[in-house]
Structure 1
Amino acid sequence: MASLNDDDIETPLNLDFHHPFTPYDVQLRFMRAVYDVLEVGNGQVGILESPTGTGKSLSLICGALTWLRNHKRGRYESTFEAIAEGMAGEPEWMIETALRRKREELTRRWEEREAVLAKIRAREREREDDGKQRAGKKRRLDEDDGIVRKGKGKGKRVLDDEEKEFLIGDWDSGEGDGRDGDPLSGLSRETRELLEKVGLGLPRKMDEDEGEVEDEIKIYYTSRTHSQLTQFISELRRPVFPPSLPSTLISKDNKESTETVKQLPLSSRQKLCINPSVSRLGSLSAINDRCTELQQSKSTQKCAFMPSADNLKMTHQFRDTVLATVPDIEDMYHVGKQLQVCPYYASRTAIPGAEVVTLPYPLLLQKSARDALGIKLKGNIVIIDEAHNIMDAVANVHAAEISLSDLRRARQMLGVYVKRFGKKLKGENRVTVAQVGRVIESLSEWLDTTMKVKGEQGIADPNLLLKARGADQINLYQLMRYIQESKLAYKVESYASHVEDDQQQQKRKSSASSPVLHSLVSFLTALTNLSNEGRVFYQKITGPPADIKLSYLLLSPTHAFSSIASSARAVILAGGTMSPFEDYKAHLFPNLAPEKITTLSCGHVIPSSNLCVWTLGSTRPVPATAGNAPDAFEFSFQKRSDKAMVRQLGLAILNICSIVPDGVVVFFPSYGYLDEVVAVWQCQVADETKSIWDRLVAKKALFRETKGGSSDEVLQSYTQAILSPDEENDTTKGKKGGGGALLLSVVGGKMSEGINFSDRLGRCVVIIGLPYPNINSPEWKARIEYIESSSLSRNRTLEPGEGEAAQAPDAQAIAAAKQAARDFYENACMRAVNQSIGRAIRHQNDYAAIVLVDRRFGTERIRGKMPGWIRGGMVEGSENKGLQGLMGALSGFFRGKKGV
């Protein structure tokens, strides 16, 4: 894994990245690194770190789009060279004629396309200027187009016409029909054929005349949340890039010297559905099922917004509008509603012409989701932003859980359904529905037994979960496919809601996030994964009412991520705090040669005088040769309950609050430990007039994050305490210690990621201890065991030949495997610490102090896992200077900031 230095950067130093502002040096380094990784291609990986506040998103955009436009122009030139080489030996005039015709053809196609998009942009500007929004003309959809169910009421039997909506249609296993993995398999044959005619079907083999459009290299950009994607799209609108056509080909009549970036945001039906009768269902699984249900050939209620031959013109207008305007998800929704065409399906027509496709993590990380949207990564660029949590994100999209109460509810609803429709179910329908019931009963029986006899949590043997009722003899793959394609989950839950009274129906809507049979399918899918990739855990839930659940945890993201890493031309992982880097190589790209991975850790844009990082190792100064002080701060699991140390911590924070102006944010290792510390601080000892807690309250307004509480409310109150209305824009206020506010939060909690504590909101961030995960939990025991075993298999020096006994690993290999597990465990801790620290410094003129309270922060091993900009701000030897040294450093630091 190569670390990138300025000398290693191959990009020409005078390359114009079309940055809308004068870029900082760190931004130039970042953009050059992005450009180099994409230029090398061939499966290259870049792991790039640039602190929040350094314009990372804009640097990603400028580096990647500059490369993309240069690459496109280069492909045009290569086309001309290929023509000339193919006509070698022909008369010069013939070669020139062929080249001229090709140039004219490419120019004409580009200018016609740009002219169409320019007209759409002009129309959009007129609408904005005049305040006219045509979407208002279509508002009748909100109320009038829903599906009205007749005869609904307490105790009323569902009418025969309505039975067709809930009754499972004729279903055949269809083995060998080639439809496995087909994301459109739930649609009728007529709908599938129609989608293919209008270009909305599955990716198909391209004809020669469409190859050039389909082969355009794209950038697939993904981030964790839709709000982060919206912010990225806002940044994407800032820079202006030259055309993808070489300037020599642009006609003199065309005065355009720029070309708008063609960007397409993709999302789920839940965000894009404009059919009110479907979107009001709430849960994604219910919306997906109802959507495909309306496309079935037997459905009497076809969705009026589905792209078809009747609205083909509107579908194409949707495509052109999207490619012309750099929209976000809300814009896509409104364009679809205005044109009366489904944004979810119509967006597929825009994929071939898009340069940048933005999408949330789940749509990129799951192959089934990529297939459903027609996303092809082969030869394209993948940029993963906020990638510090990418391994957790991979695990989350493949996670599944189901509880005993879910299973009981599913069995009850299935019983109601079979009682009503059982006699109408024929053949394989009847057999397979019975199999679903047996699987539910087997899982329920295992959980019910475990609830009574075993511990609070542990690892479940997947071979025993389906041992009862003969469920282990059922083909799970066939069963899952049946539930998905027959829409059994949607039909059962929909029918159950019909036979309940209104009060019960409202309860169900408010308590159920998705049909429980979908949860069952997700869990069964997890059970069929490779056994060494994941584990199944059980955990009891304290009541009332008491419950127990099964959870599937993916132990390694390697296999799940391999389809992305092996397909893309290049993959870039970018984030504000990517350090430490080793885990990404070991667990995402374990088989990639070191020279194929480029790493870069950028410094911050702030001057060094704006950051003070101090390690508080003890209350009193400690000579370097004295070893650990008796009053050292060490918040290890064995020592952190020492009440004397906890009281000393409270006094240290009280001293910090006396000097630091405005906002102080303190991060604790866990909610449980925060509660423990607060209890000690609130206890008043005999020789004190006030408790530590009362003294903190007197010094600053005190706020505390609670597990399950509203972080928005706490953050709002904390902000108001610092920025009173008359002070909000006055940066000279609050320049002395005292006043302001103190926020007690948790590493890994809601305040530790995505929250902006810029300027006065975060003048000091205090980290209490190292927040190691609970290594005794079943999940972490399984992770450690998996990493050790996989490390041993990779590091085995001698593979036994045929007939030879497997050689036992030697002591060195065992030690290396245990070290790999320890590193992974420690890296998880330090990524969380780095994220919390990164909440404070948010822009070039910001300044803050970082106080690391634990002697272990003074070790080189721990410091080496921090980003370079944090290490650069560390005060040398601070871990031995005690609380008095910290007070002096903070006084000098903030004294120098008066009037800033």
Structure 2
Amino acid sequence: KNSSSHSMMCLLEEGEQDTLSKDLPQDGLASTSDKPTVDNVTTTKNDDDDSDIFQTDQIKFRTPGSKARAKQCTDEDEEPSKSRCVATDRKTTSGEKLLGVSCSCACHSLDKPCMGATDEAEPIRLPKIYFGTRTHKQIAQIIRELKRTAYSEVKMAILGSREHLCVHPEVSRSKNKNDGCRELLDTKTGISCRYYANVQKIKHHWQLEGHGLTSAWDVEDLVKLGKKIKSCPYFATRSLANDADVIFCPYNYLIDPLIRSSMDITLKDQIIILDEAHNIEDSAREAASATIRADELQDVMDELDKLIQYKWREEHCRAMHVVAANLQRWIASQSGSLSQNDFNKASKVWSGVEMVAQFNNMGVSPGTFDVLKHHLAALFEEPNPQIPVEEMMSLTSASGMLLRGLFIIVDYFFRENMVYMKDYKVVMIKEFSQRKGRDNTDNRWLNPRRGSSERLTYSLNFWCMNPAVAFSDVGGEARTIVLTSGTLSPMGSFASELGVEFSISLEANHVIKDSQVWVGSIATGPTGKTLNASYRNTETFNFQDDLGRLVLDVCKTIPFGVLCFFSSYSLMLKLSERWKNTRLWSEISEKKIIMTEARGGMKKEFDEQLKEFYSTIEDFESSGIEDRTVTGVLFLAVCRGKVSEGMDFADNNARAVITVGIPFPSFKDPQVELKRAYNDQNRDRGLLSGSEWYEIQAYRALNQALGRCLRHR
């Protein structure tokens, strides 16, 4: 199998054929000396967010009766070492099966005193390695590769959500595992979780070794053990991280300041490796962005009113109520000045400078912000057992997240003499959206909100145009940062968007030989029709039918798995509908079982679909295809969807990959429009032009889709 060859095809827009070869995945590596500074980037948010991405738990601000968690501390050098930032753009080798970069790093200077050295000669604190990636499946692939190295017995931990780690028989099957878990841990309910009570059984690495986990383990291994001995993997991983040398976690645990704080992650003088780093730009920009809905802001005010009524931390609640009320009044005052964008949506844009002036009018300014932060922090302090009302009530997690999220944005606006305020656009949007019912599992003293309904809502969106705003927190603290991906190239554009001057870079040769893969662009279909995948041309039956005939010919010729990626969901649905209305769909079905990636599908549904795909291919492999009419599976999917990034389609799972069109971000998306304009206005900082940035987003997504069949040497 490991020497099997693959085929890839690509249908490009007219005039794009020559661009493909230079934009196919390149390998690279980059690094900075001195503390890296970062600039901006923005990629459009997927219509269908990858639900397999480590889902951030709704932040737990306080579990009643719980003790403050011990925080990890790193002593500082008297003369801190310079940060180094390394980014590698590697060819996708044996699939995202490989670690991408294998390196050992002697980060400690032997001729200097150890960090925090004193006359008492404290123990040397070696830096931890944080390995960040996007999905749980990617972590599993990395762990498999780690097991093959000399470091397989390294002390490690995997930080994840309850979605992946909860083993409670009832909570693990519930729709909202976070609230179910908190309800069990809430001392007011009189219920308890015996799995949490037994967490001490697996909270140390030597205990894991005693249960047979002597080498690199995956989440599934820990979950299996937790079920066996009735101990909680979710809370165990946090204890394991304290002593771990390598910690695997999702990007947002490292990039997002709110999550980083809630997870007690300290990055000072640590080593950070970010795999599949082509997504870091978008992750960093989103981490420094926030959306405040007017109805959710009203919920916060109602909740604070109740807390004030019961005299629960009254002074601090009143201060936060003033902030929320002033912002709510401002939103209401601006609602009549929005410009209509389409039939049911209107909006208005403010610059960061203009928004700072508005904040000042609301009583939020650099002069008052420290006092306001003190009031906010007081809402999340541990309850005073001497005051009965403190044990009975607390601010809900949803309200806490909204207030903390708002204050993080304001902090970025005011930081370092407001250097970042020009990197923001504030957009108010009026549209119809779903209004969800309030979940009060941890605060029964609140009146429940009525069920979900669709209604007109106003949202205030703080959109960060510059990923450096959030990434500078990481780059300014970490000792070393390594970025690696198969689609970082062109390296210059990636560096300019992140604002990092890479002093060390590597663009490695591809491990795939020319004899193993064929890459080509198809200009015409079987009947000679031009396959120009521009928007206007895809509307024609000539294009739709000839493309269908081409896919049919591929399915007749190539055995086992075939992946076909479209530039958008709308194009995939349009073509599928046309093929069903003709004989093409049934003709393809005579050669391949057809599966279609669902839009907005839940993680469980997608996992089941992927499992079905793999098992079907295995059936064809075991039974053979020589005497069978149907020879495999055709998987229709979308660039930037779940299938196109991070999924492993080795060997017979993908003998061909077809891409239709170029997956440009939505041109009318307001974030895309603002980002393009932002880049054009900041060319003097070395940024790409708006058009150049726009094209690179498309080709990176295209290369990710094409790379699905490059799974081994």
TM-score (norm 2): 0.67
Question: Structure 1, residues 841-879: CA drift from partner, whole Å, max 9, x if none?
Answer: 3234xxxxxxxxxxxxxxxxxxxxxxxxxxxxxxxxxxx
1:381 to 261, 271, 275: 271
- Aligned twin of 1:431: 318
For residues 380 and 744 of structure 1, what CA distance do their matches in structure 2 show? 42
| Larger relative contact order (CA 8 Å, sep ≥ 6) | 2
- Which stretch of structure 1 is more off in the superposition, 479-488 or 514-523? 479-488
- Aligned twin of 2:654: 762
1:545 to 454, 458, 472: 454
- Aligned twin of 2:448: none
Give the residue type in structure 2 aligned to 1:410: V
Shift of 1:773: 0.7
Q: 1:639 to 1:404 in 2, by over 3 A?
A: farther
Q: 1:217 to 1:373 in 2, by over 3 A?
A: same
Shift of 1:821: 2.3
Q: 1:735 to 1:557 in 2, by over 3 A?
A: farther
Shift of 1:727: 3.3
For residues 384 and 469 of structure 1, what CA distance do their matches in structure 2 show? 38
Q: 1:448 to 1:489 in 2, by over 3 A?
A: farther
For residues 542 and 281 of structure 1, what CA distance do their matches in structure 2 show? 22
Q: Are 1:400 and 1:551, in contact at CA under 8 Å, matched by a contact in 2? A: yes
Give the residue type in structure 1 aligned to 2:540: D
- Aligned twin of 1:523: 406
Shift of 1:778: 1.2
Shift of 1:747: 0.8
Q: Does 1:660 align with 2:558?
A: yes
- Aligned twin of 1:460: 349
For residues 615 and 401 of structure 1, what CA distance do their matches in structure 2 show? 41
- Aligned twin of 1:677: 575
Q: Are 1:664 and 1:743, in contact at CA under 8 Å, matched by a contact in 2? A: yes
Shift of 1:412: 3.9
- Aligned twin of 1:882: none
Q: How does 1:389-788 map to 2 (within 5 A)?
A: 389-418=279-308, 420-421=309-310, 424=311, 428-429=315-316, 431-439=318-326, 441-442=328-329, 445=332, 449=336, 455=342, 456=345, 458-461=347-350, 471-472=362-363, 475=368, 478-479=371-372, 481-487=374-380, 515-529=398-412, 530-539=420-429, 540-542=431-433, 545-548=454-457, 549-590=459-500, 592=501, 596-605=503-512, 607-619=513-525, 631-683=529-581, 690-709=582-601, 713=605, 720=612, 724=616, 727-730=619-622, 732-733=624-625, 739-788=631-680
For residues 229 and 718 of structure 1, what CA distance do their matches in structure 2 show? 17
Q: 1:679 to 1:443 in 2, by over 3 A?
A: farther
Shift of 1:286: 11
Q: Does 1:831 align with 2:663?
A: no
Give the residue type in structure 1 aligned to 2:204: F
**Would you tell me which structure has more strand in proportion to its own residues?**
2
Question: Structure 1, residues 3-27: CA drift from partner, whole Å, max 9, x if none?
Answer: xxxxxxxxxxxxxxxxxxxxxxxxx
Give SS of 1:522's match: helix
- Aligned twin of 1:27: none
Q: 1:402 to 1:759 in 2, by over 3 A?
A: same
Q: Are 1:35 and 1:64, in contact at CA under 8 Å, matched by a contact in 2? A: no
For residues 432 and 823 of structure 1, what CA distance do their matches in structure 2 show? 46
Give SS of 2:678's match: helix
Shift of 1:836: 0.8
Shift of 1:278: 12
Unaligned runs of 5+ in 1: 1-29, 83-105, 107-203, 242-258, 500-512, 622-629, 684-689, 796-816, 845-900
Give the residue type in structure 1 aligned to 2:507: L
For residues 573 and 202 of structure 2, what CA distance do their matches in structure 1 show? 58
Question: Structure 1, residues 599-641: CA drift from partner, whole Å, max 9, x if none?
Answer: 2234134x433312121012389xxxxxxxx943222234432
Q: 1:231 to 1:460 in 2, by over 3 A?
A: same
- Aligned twin of 2:690: 821
Give SS of 2:649's match: coil
Q: Are 1:663 and 1:762, in contact at CA under 8 Å, matched by a contact in 2? A: yes
Shift of 1:387: 1.5
Give the residue type in structure 2 aligned to 1:518: M
Give the residue type in structure 2 aligned to 1:522: G
Q: Are 1:647 and 1:681, in contact at CA under 8 Å, matched by a contact in 2? A: yes
For residues 720 and 274 of structure 1, what CA distance do their matches in structure 2 show? 24
Q: 1:212 to 1:838 in 2, by over 3 A?
A: same
Instruction: Give the % identical residues.
Output: 22
Shift of 1:826: 1.0
Q: Does 1:51 align with 2:106?
A: no
- Aligned twin of 1:64: 103
Q: Are 2:89 and 2:489, in contact at CA under 8 Å, matched by a contact in 1? A: no
Give SS of 1:431's match: helix
- Which stretch of structure 1 is more off in the superposition, 460-469 or 635-644? 460-469
Shift of 1:488: 9.6
Give SS of 2:132's match: strand
Give SS of 2:535's match: coil
TM-score (norm 1): 0.55
For residues 833 and 569 of structure 1, what CA distance do their matches in structure 2 show? 33
Q: 1:454 to 1:470 in 2, by over 3 A?
A: farther
For residues 272 and 120 of structure 2, what CA distance do their matches in structure 1 show? 27
Q: 1:222 to 1:480 in 2, by over 3 A?
A: same
Q: Are 2:339 and 2:346, in contact at CA under 8 Å, matched by a contact in 1? A: no
For residues 599 and 273 of structure 2, what CA distance do their matches in structure 1 show? 33
Q: How does 1:33-44 map to 2 (within 5 A)?
A: 43-44=84-85
Q: 1:443 to 1:208 in 2, by over 3 A?
A: farther
- Aligned twin of 1:199: none
Q: Are 1:221 and 1:358, in contact at CA under 8 Å, matched by a contact in 2? A: yes
Give SS of 2:521's match: strand
For residues 473 and 41 of structure 1, what CA distance do their matches in structure 2 show? 35
Q: Are 1:634 and 1:640, in contact at CA under 8 Å, matched by a contact in 2? A: yes
Give the residue type in structure 2 aligned to 1:604: V
Q: 1:693 to 1:234 in 2, by over 3 A?
A: closer
Give SS of 1:613's match: strand
Give SS of 1:545's match: strand
Unaligned runs of 5+ in 2: 1-26, 34-80, 413-419, 435-452
Give SS of 1:654's match: helix
Q: Does 1:213 align with 2:132?
A: no
- Which stretch of structure 1 is more off in the superposition, 331-340 or 526-535? 331-340
For residues 715 and 362 of structure 1, what CA distance do their matches in structure 2 show? 22
Give the residue type in structure 2 aligned to 1:263: M
For residues 329 and 624 of structure 2, what CA distance do their matches in structure 1 show? 68
For residues 610 and 130 of structure 2, what CA distance do their matches in structure 1 show? 38
**Would you tell me which structure has more helix in proportion to its own residues?**
1
Question: Structure 1, residues 675-723: CA drift from partner, whole Å, max 9, x if none?
Answer: 233343344xxxxxx4433433444333322322357657756875786
Q: How does 1:277-316 map to 2 (within 5 A)?
A: none
